[in-house]
Every structure is written in structure tokens, then in C-alpha cells.
Structure 1
Amino acid sequence: MTVKALGYVIVTTEKMAEWDSYLADVVGVMRGEGAPEGTAFYRIDDRPFRFWVRPGNEERLAAAGYEVEDAAALDALKAAISAAGRPVEDGTAEEAKARGVAAFFRTSDPDGNGLEFFHGDTRDNVAFVSPAGVSGFVTGDMGMGHAVFAAPSFEATHAFYRDVVGFHDTDIPRFQLTGAEDDPGMGFAFMHAENGRHHSIAIGEMPIPPSGCVHLMLEMKTISDVGKCHDRMRAAKVPESASIGRHVNDQTFGFYMQTPSGFDLEIGCDPLVIDPESWEPTAHLVPSEWGHVWAWQKAMED
């Protein structure tokens, strides 16, 4: 089995208006058309939506939806996940139509993080126009970006994504985030799909947050786009989760800010593009080359 890319995400929230302003006015994504009544689509390219925001009684990333090659690949993956002891539920034809896919199923990893897998994606000829003036987002074969989940059962969840789902290891570090000599470190697994994005999914050895997600990442086309988004974040008084910096492993330049549902959104550009066929896994010692001072680090300093 092989996974092509991250296709879409589904968010449940009691803060529909906040999410609308956040995505359109701060991030600069485009409001989409055709969402089921009471819900909202947001697009960053020629897919009818990449964010589906729906009313719910939890502030949560309900699912990250990953694309596979075709119906046979979807059936094989569903069988493998079921054999691994994870629950699987086929989506109905109506649900698939709402997602703009031919077919999909729901499941979760060993730590309960919500996933959907699908085939038969949809594209249209609607031009992307950002209400905030973003020149564009980098998607195409690399998908919408990446999702990062918490995985307290780190070894089991890593094995699930690698051996059952079919993601491939890109960078397998153990970060000592506090800098203390007795820090045992925190395991991470950055994993790529069958495309050039350094990682389409990652997991960290940490407790599951109430939001069901650590962060999502969107790639903008230019440094100027990233900088202007940072200005919009500050003007809107959106909490900054990590200052501007550059990562070591994927070389992404960017920053992190909090979403209305509590998980973070990484806004970046200028990343490393890998060859998925020949890449040899690395194990970097620190997450950032420079910058990325986290809110919790600032709080400790204060």
C-alpha cells in the first residue's frame, strides 16, 4: 500500500464564526462553495475544499483525510488496517460525494487519532483568490501540507503508520526540548508519502491534546506571503505558538499560531523537497536551525 498525500482535514467546532475569520482573514484561504448546510468549505487550490469546518460540541480535528491510488489500493489498505485491529467504517455514497471523492473509509491509529483514507479525488476550474492577498499555496502532488499527531503509544503508532498504512520514515529524531542534562528526550517520527514533501504526517511521543491534533501545516509560495500572514496574526491578536524560524530537518521557514480549536497551524515556505524513492532516513538532534521560540519557552523565561 502507498499513500499519495494529505487531501483534506475535517474540524468540528462551536466557533464557526471564529474559524471563518481565522481562515479567510488571517491565514488567507478562500471560502468555498457547496458545503452541506450549516458547515463551511475552505480552499487553497483547485480542490473544492481542503478544510471542512463543521459545528460540533468538541473543539477538535475530527480527521485528516489521506489519498491512495485507486479502489484496489483503498480496499487493500482497509483490510490491512482491520487486520491490525483498528476499527474501519465505510463512508456512504452521500458522504463520499460531500468530500469530493469516489469512496473512503474512517479509522484511527492506535492512539485514537482520527483518519480517513480515500481515492478518486475531485478538481475544478475555480481560480484561487485569497481574500487576504496570499499569492498561493504549494499543493499539487504534495497535497495540502502535513498533520502532526500526539502518540503516547509511540512505538505501536509508529509501526502502524509504517508497516500497516505504508508511510515511509524521513526523520526519526529524539528531541531534548528542555536542554536539561537529564532530559530523556521525546521521540518523533516524520514520515513521507509518495511525493516530495518531507513529511505528510508526523507523530510525537506526548499526551493526546483535547483538540486531537498537535498541528497542521500549510506551505505558502513566498517568504513575503509568510511574513504578511505573521503580521495579520499579530493584528488579529491570534496567539503565536512559535516565533519565526527555520527547521533543521525539512528546512521550512515559518511560524506557528493557535487555531480557534486549540491546536496549532504552521505557516511556512521554502522547504526541502525530497526524492521519496531514494531518501534515506535521518535523525536530527534539534528541531530548529534558528528561531522558533515556543510560547511555553517564553513563559518559562518570564
Structure 2
Amino acid sequence: MGVKALGYVVIATAKMKEWDSFLTEVVGVMRGAGGPEGVALYRIDDRPFRFWIEPGAQDELLASAYEIADAQSWADLKAKIAAAGRPVEDGSASEAKARGVTAFFRTTDPAGNGLEFFHGDTRDDVAFVSPAGVTGFVTGEMGMGHSVLCTPNFQECYDFYKNVVGFGDTDLPRFHFSDDPDDPGMGFAFMHADNGRHHSIALAEMPVPPSRCVHLMLEMATMSDVGLCHDRMRKAKVAESATLGRHVNDQTFGFYMQTPAGFDIEIGWNPLVIDYKNWTPTAHLTPSEWGHVWAWQKAMEEQQEKAGQ
């Protein structure tokens, strides 16, 4: 396939200070150095950055950036994406240097979600030290984590990621969030790259929000790291999007909280590591084994309680 992993994300924001305090004080990532003027870089491991935060008129995920195995695979992918009718824009040499890659190009999926594909990644010997005391984030060959994107034209986008980009199927469920027998449900596609992470990208059948993202996921090294992050979220009065819980498909233990952009970040631990070369796709019926009570569910329950009084 040639897609190695999620390498980094590019986020635009009108809230640079809020992002800085959220990432360093709550999530516990480390400030990076050497970015272009006005850009803030944040790292979670030996890559110079995983979060690229730049000033913008509104808060949105500009791109999820995926590493391609080598220069030839990267060139082949660029040609396939162009042949599929998607726009392709090469990053300049100076932009590539700032991103710590040999070369990259920008494109979008059929729903308009921003993507970057690159080859020739960078590592350094700067030790990761979390300002909040996180013992570490799990990355390596599995990359930064995963992105979940909205795709109202679900089948078209799924075909793009599978047949053009080359992601593999991991779990292809259709979730029903109500008891209405006529509820058509919501399609999801959890898709893996060439590594053991259960999914490096996931697609949700819903309209694209202004933030252009459902959530980003980071994996922490220990259960205590997750619990302590949950405490920091509460003390900082960051909105909790979903309570602590455990997913069915990737078995991740963790929770969700709201970023300054309005989309969520999932903080997880101990997910399933798959054998991606021999994986048989699944279709789980429910998202979570336990927990993960969402803010919207709490709001509905409160409304029902008030109505019953």
C-alpha cells in the first residue's frame, strides 16, 4: 500500500494562546522549536513536531498529513489522486523543510477534507519532556495516532481512501444511535495504514462541521497518564465530550474532551494492535463496551428528566 502512518496535523486557529495552554497544560505535549514566524509547533516524541498550529480567521483542521513509504510510492500516489480528479498542489522546498520532510503535496478528499502526503521524515535526539508530567506518548511505526473526518458523501469518500489512497479496512460498522426502527443508522469506516494501529483514519457519515474534524486521537503510555490527563481536564474546566470508557473495536480505554477548535481529542491507552497484513475486517454493532457517555446523551437525559417532572 505505501501509507505508513499519520505523521502530523495542521490546524488553523484564531486562539493561539488557548491552544498553547490546552496542549501543554492539559494534554501535556511539549513545545517545539524552529517553526516559521507565527507558527507554533508541538511535539510528543522524537519528531520535531506533531501539531502545527498556525494563525487563521477560524479554527479548523487544515490537514491530516500521512507518511508514504518512499519517493516512488509518493509519486505514484500523487498521480493516482490527480487522475481521480482531486486537486494536487506540491509544497515548496522551503515548506517541506519547515515540515521536516523531503517532499509533500496537498490535496482534499471528495468531501473537501484537507490532506497532505509526504515522504522522507525527520527525527532528532531532543528528549521529550512533558510540562504536565506525561510519561510518554505511543508513536513509533504506528505514527501520531488517528484522525476522524466527516463525509456526507460517505461511499464516494470511502472509495477514495480505499481504492485511490490505499488504506485497508479494519472495521466497517453502521451505528444506530436511537431506538427508532426506521433509523437508517450512520456509516463509519475505520481504516488502517501499514502498521499495527487499528485505524489511522476513520470516516463518519455526517455533514462536515466548521472545524472540519470529528476528533484526533493520541495514545498515552500508561493508564495513569490517561487518568491524570482527565483530572487536568476537569481542573482546567475543559468541556468533557465523552466520559471514560472502552471501545469495542479497537479496545482503547480513554475519554474525549473538546479542543479550542470545537472538535474533540481522544486520549487513549492500551488499544488493540492488529496484524494489518492478515486482518479480516469486522463490523461491530456498538461503539463502546462500557462508558463513553457523550455530552449530547447527558443533555438528552436531563431534558427527559425535566419533562417527566
TM-score (normalizing by structure 1): 0.99
- Deviating more after overlay: 68-77 vs 178-187: 178-187
1:184, distance to aligned residue in structure 2 (A):
1.1
Letter in 2 for 1:275: D
Q: Give me the whole-angstrom Cα distance separating, in 2, the residues matched to 1:173 and 1:270.
A: 22
Residue equivalent to 1:282: 282
5 Å-filtered alignment, 1:112-123, equals 112-123=112-123
Amino acid in the other structure paired with 1:2: G
Q: In structure 2, what is the equivalent of residue 138 of structure 1?
A: 138
CA contact (8 A) 2:244 2:254 kept: yes
Question: Partners in 1 of 2:150 and 2:261 — Cα distance?
Answer: 16
- Report the equivalent of 1:11: 11
The alignment status of 1:23 with 2:47, answered yes or no, reads no
Aligned residue in 2 for 1:291: 291
Residue in structure 1 matched with residue 307 of structure 2 by the alignment: none
Alignment partners' CA distance in 1, 2:182 and 2:26: 40
Residue equivalent to 1:104:
104
The root-mean-square deviation of aligned C-alpha atoms, in Å, is 0.6
- Given residue 13 of structure 1, which amino acid in structure 2 is its aligned partner? T
Q: CA deviation at 1:294?
A: 0.5
For the Cα contact (< 8 Å) 2:2–2:70, is it kept in 1? no
Pairing of 1:2-151 with structure 2 (within 5 A): 2-151=2-151
Structure 2, gaps ≥5 residues long: 303-309
Match of 1:5, as an amino acid? A
> Which deviations, in whole Å up to 9, do the C-alpha atoms of 1:244-295 show, x marking residues without a partner?
0000000000000000011100000010000010000000000000000001
Identity percentage of aligned residues: 73
Looking at structure 2, the residues matched to 244 and 108 of structure 1 have their Cα atoms a distance apart, in angstroms, of 33
**Residue aligning to 1:206:** 206
AA partner of residue 163 (structure 1) = N
Give the whole-Å Cα distance in 1 for the aligned partners of 2:54 and 2:101. Answer: 18
SS of residue in 1 equivalent to 2:278: coil
Instruction: Look up the equivalent residue of 1:271 and give its one-letter code.
Output: P
Aligned to 2:220: 220
Shift of 1:179: 3.3
What is the SS of the residue equivalent to 1:267? strand
Q: Secondary structure at the match of 1:197?
A: coil
For residues 118 and 78 of structure 2, the distance between their equivalents in structure 1, rounded to whole angstroms, comes to 10
1:159-205 Cα deviation digits (max 9, x unpaired): 00000000000000000012332221100000000000000000000
Aligned length: 302
Q: Distance in 2 between the 1:104 and 1:266 partners?
A: 27
Equivalent pair of 2:134/2:225 in contact (CA under 8 Å)? yes
Greater mean deviation of Cα atoms: 105-114 or 31-40: 31-40
Distance 2:184 2:126 in 1: 50
